[in-house]
Amino acid sequence: MRDQLQKYCTKLLGDRAALSGMIAMAAMDDAIVSYGNSELIKIAETISEKLGCACTVVARPSLPFFEWIVRRMPAESMIIVPGDTETRTFLHDIPVLRKHVSRTALFETAVELLGKRKGIVAEGIGIIATGALTVEQAYINWSSIFHSTFVKYLEDVLAYGFTCLEERQDFEIFRNQWLQPLSVQELSFRKGPLTQRSEILYEMDCVGRYTVGCGLVDSFFGNISCSDGRLIYISQTAASLDELAGQIDPVPFDGSSTAGITASSELAAHKGIYETFGCNTILHGHPRFSVIMSMQCEHRSTCDIRDCWRECARTRYMGDTPVVAGEVGAGGLATKLRPAIEKTGSAIVYGHGVFSIGYSGFEEAFSGIITVEQFCRDEYFRRLDAADWS
C-alpha cells in the first residue's frame, strides 16, 4: 500500500500539479498507511478515518490559482462552480473550506464537505480529495480539481483582470516560468497507417504517455484510438492515458462483440469519425487553454441559451479550428464532431477539449492537438494583454 501512495505522490509531481514537499496521502489498509508531508499527513489520516474512505490526498497545488479564486469570492461564498465539462459531469461543483479558528472545526467541516463531494479547496492548505474505493480515485479527484480551478481562474482573470499587484506577480511567474513550450520535436512516432495489433497497442501506449507528459490532459480524462479497418482499438473508460497497458479494447465496427462495454464513453464519436473520413488514428485531450477559449463566446450576452455546452447549435472558430457544443458520450457530440472536424482534421468541443485525427499514425493527430492548444494559448494572452477592465 505504501508503494501505491508513493506512486501517486510522484505522479502529482510529474504532472507539475503539486508542490514538492507539500503532498500527503493516507490510505486505509489493515491499519492506516501514510506517506508525505508530516503535517499534511495528520489531516489526511483524520479524514480517512472519519469518512472510512480508501484514501485521502492533501496537497498544495504548484500554482496559487485556488487561493486567488477564494480571495475573489465574497466572504459568505462557500462553493466554486467552474464551467468546464469535467466539472459538470464529474465534480458538479467544488466546496470551499474557509480558514477555521480551531483544528477541530477544520476537521469537522472538511469531513462534512467531503461526505458530499469528491474533493474540496481548503483555504491556506490546498486541495483535499478522497477515493472511496482506491488510492487511484483520490489521485484522479485531486487532479480533476486542479484542472477545474486552473480553467476557472484563468477565465476570471480574462473577464475581470487582477485584484492587486501580488496577484499580477503570481500570474507573471506562471506565464513566464511555469508554462512550458509545446512541441513534438523530442517525441518519436511510428509511421503509419498502423495495421498490426502489436504495433497499434505499443504506439497507443507511447502516445498516451506523451499526451500526459505534455500536459494535454489531466486526471483520467481524454481518450485515444486506432483503426485497422476492421477493429477500433480504443482506450477503456476511466483509463489513465499514461497507463494504457491492458486498458485498450478492440471493438469491431459491426458490433459483433461486447468489447465496447468497457470502452471509452466517446466510442460513438470515434466510430462516426472513422466511418466518415477513413482516418487511422484519433486523439482526444483536454488541453487547458483550448478548454478555456472554447467557453469565450461573443454571443453570450445576447443569446437565450443557458446550457451552452449541450444546446448551442452555432459553430464558432478559434483560428481555423471549429468549436462545437454537444453532450459527451453517445449524445449530440457524436453527430456534431464529424462535419466540424472535416476542414482541418481537428475540432474543439465546448468546455471539453480537442479531437484530432491522423491518416498515417499518431504524429498527425498529436501535432493537431499541439497546434490547436498553441493557438488558444497565444489567443488567450493576446486578449489578456489587450483587455480593458475599466
- Per-residue pLDDT tens digits for 79-98: 898 877 667 677 788 999 98
pLDDT band at 358 (very low <50, low <70, confident <90, very high): very high
Average pLDDT of every residue of the chain: 91
Whether residue 331 is predicted with pLDDT greater than 70 in this model: the reply is no
pLDDT band at 259 (very low <50, low <70, confident <90, very high): low
As to burial, measured by CB atoms within 10 angstroms (0-12 exposed, 13-18 middle, 19+ buried), residue 105 is exposed
pLDDT band at 332 (very low <50, low <70, confident <90, very high): low
Question: What residue spans define the domains of the chain?
Answer: 2-178, 197-386
Residue 44, Cα to own-chain centre: how many angstroms?
A: 23
What value, to the nearest 5°, has the Cα angle with vertex 151 and ends 70 and 343? 165
As to burial, measured by CB atoms within 10 angstroms (0-12 exposed, 13-18 middle, 19+ buried), residue 10 is exposed
Q: Phi then psi for 33, rounded to 5 degrees? A: -120, 135
Per-residue model confidence (pLDDT) at position 328: 72
Per-residue model confidence (pLDDT) at position 99: 83
Distance, CA of 20 to CA of 40 (rounded, Å): 13
Segment holding 347, helix H or strand E:
strand 346-349
Distance, CA of 226 to CA of 204 (rounded, Å): 8
User: What pLDDT digit, counting tens, does each position of 101-142 carry?
Assistant: 677 888 899 999 999 999 999 999 999 999 999 999 999 999
Per-residue model confidence (pLDDT) at position 101: 63
Q: Does domain 197-386 have CATH number 1.10.10.10?
A: no
Whether residue 231 is predicted with pLDDT greater than 80 in this model: the reply is yes
pLDDT band at 211 (very low <50, low <70, confident <90, very high): very high
- Domain 2-178: CATH superfamily is Class II aldolase/adducin N-terminal domain (3.40.225.10)
Distance, CA of 219 to CA of 389 (rounded, Å): 34
Rg over CA atoms, the chain: 21
- pTM here is 0.93
Higher pLDDT, 84 or 289: 289
Per-residue model confidence (pLDDT) at position 388: 86
pLDDT band at 58 (very low <50, low <70, confident <90, very high): very high
Q: List the grid coordinates of 225.
A: 484510438
Per-residue model confidence (pLDDT) at position 171: 97
